[in-house]
Amino acid sequence: MSLCHSVPVSPCPHVPISLCPPAATGSDEEDDSDASTKPIRSGKKNPVSLFQTGGDPPRERKTRKKVPKAAESEEETLETQQKNSNKKGKGKKSKKKEERPLSPVIEVDNLEKFVLSPAPQGVTIKCRVTRDKRGMDRGLYPTYYLHLDNDKKVFLLAGRKRKKSKTSNYLISIDPTDLSRGGENFIGKLRSNLMGTKFTVFDNGANPDRASADWSNVRQELSAVVYETNVLGFKGPRKMTVIIPGMNSDNERVPIRPRNDNDGLLTRWQNKNMDNIIELHNKAPVWNDETQSYVLNFHGRVTHASVKNFQIVHGSDPDYIVMQFGRVADDAFTMDYNYPLCAVQAFAIALSSFDGKLACE
């Protein structure tokens, strides 16, 4: 049982990520109630140069879509206060319900193209992830659904952990009723290592062992996620590294098609071979003595404390939020992403945060 305890949302402007001070300890079990937030400025810089690596343009057809820009939503924030485990008592409840800024109107004419295309520059794609635990085995293998977070609530993706896999393996589909590996709606997958600390995101291409003669059908690696292990057992914010392919001069993703396990994103990153790949990190929250919590600013998009709350940034511009994810209800989360991520990349990164990691808590 964790030593940390959470307190309900208060009407202030930031959301906590971890309730314990830097030296607090806890168990290795996942504790969903441990997360916080602090104000974060919205960067106005052009992010293109951060992600360009000059790789060869992709050979496949272009999948970029034009999406109308929307007016900037109000940068309202909500602070979830969490007290140190040494202090008892309940926090104050919100006096009034804050409305969450919604996604701009986005047309999704071709779902497969949309979910694999980078977000248009200057547009934040705001989504909602819901977790469905209903059914015989949904407690162990819930289904996750991704919708646009607006009035239309357009369905984008569904994901579910595969049974009988040696490692955590999530299938991602563009059909909420078809989550089979062999189905025509299979769009990608998320696979972990044995420890559950490193994840790789693939598209729906073929395994290199079953590649065609010219390798044109080999799967691409879309992203990798690394959770820093915590062998000392200290409780606190998670530390994430996200590795993605760079973008070429046409603002298209550079294809990364490893022919074996020694040529993937994780191996390249571990060997410091950064050609055509980009390294991102979760934004480090700040310990707030007043609220006794680590805090980040989600600009009104996250309302509940959770260890799963995070923001992904580039080290050269920590004000440009590439992606953010956080809890808004027991089984509901917001997931927002910007250029250069696509929906499949962002959804898979979010799915990795749900997985129980043996040494990361």
Q: Is the peptide bond before 340 cis (omega within 30 degrees of 0)?
A: yes
E strand map for the chain: 15-18, 125-132, 143-148, 155-161, 169-173, 186-192, 198-203, 221-227, 240-245, 277-282, 286-288, 293-296, 310-314, 317-329, 332-337
C-alpha distances (whole Å) from 215 to each of 205, 209, 259 are 10, 10, 8
C-alpha distances (whole Å) from 139 to each of 32, 190, 206, 332, 338 are 15, 19, 31, 15, 31
pLDDT digits (tens, 9 = 90+) for 271-311: 999 999 999 999 988 888 888 888 899 989 999 988 889 99
- 65 burial (CB, 10 Å; 0-12 / 13-18 / 19+) is middle
CB 208 within 8 A of CB 256: no
How is the chain split into domains, by residue range?
Answer: 113-354
Q: Give mean pLDDT, residues 259-276.
A: 91
Q: Give mean pLDDT, residues 190-215.
A: 87
The rounded mean pLDDT for the chain is 76
User: What is residue 209's DSSP assignment?
Assistant: G
- Would you place residue 126 in the very low, low, confident or very high pLDDT band (cuts 50, 70, 90)? very high
Q: What is the pTM of this model?
A: 0.76
User: What is residue 262's DSSP assignment?
Assistant: G
Rounding to the nearest 10 degrees, give the CA dihedral for residues 287, 290, 295, 296.
-120
pLDDT higher than 60, residue 52: yes
pLDDT higher than 50, residue 36: no
pLDDT higher than 70, residue 12: no
pLDDT higher than 50, residue 32: no
Q: How many CA atoms lie within 13 A of 224 on its CB side?
A: 21
3-state class (DSSP) for residue 140: coil
Q: Residue 26: what pLDDT?
A: 36
Per CATH, the number for 113-354 is: 3.20.90.10
Cα angle 114, 331, 241; round to 5: 60
pLDDT digits (tens, 9 = 90+) for 79-111: 333 333 333 344 444 444 456 677 667 778 899
Separation of alpha carbons 93 and 239, rounded Å:
30
Q: Left (φ > 0), alpha (ψ -120 to 50) or beta: where does 276 sit? A: left
Which positions ≥6 away from 241 have C-beta within 8 Å? Answer: 225, 226, 228, 269, 279, 280, 281
- Would you place residue 230 in the very low, low, confident or very high pLDDT band (cuts 50, 70, 90)? low
Q: Residue 312: what pLDDT?
A: 97
Buried b (16+ CB within 10 A) or exposed e, 219-256: bbbbbbbbbeebeeeebbbbebbbbbbbbbeeebbbbb
Q: Residue 322: what pLDDT?
A: 97
Rounding to the nearest 10 degrees, give the CA dihedral for residues 182, 157, 64, 314.
-110
Long-range Cβ contact pairs of 266-272 (< 8 A, separation 24 or more): 266/198, 266/200, 266/224, 266/226, 268/243, 269/224, 269/226, 269/241, 269/243
Q: Residue 136: what pLDDT?
A: 60
Q: In terms of Cα–Cα distance, which of 196, 169, 199 is closest to 181? A: 169
3-state class (DSSP) for residue 346: helix
Separation of alpha carbons 121 and 90, rounded Å:
43
Q: In terms of Cα–Cα distance, which of 13, 1, 40 is closest to 235? A: 1
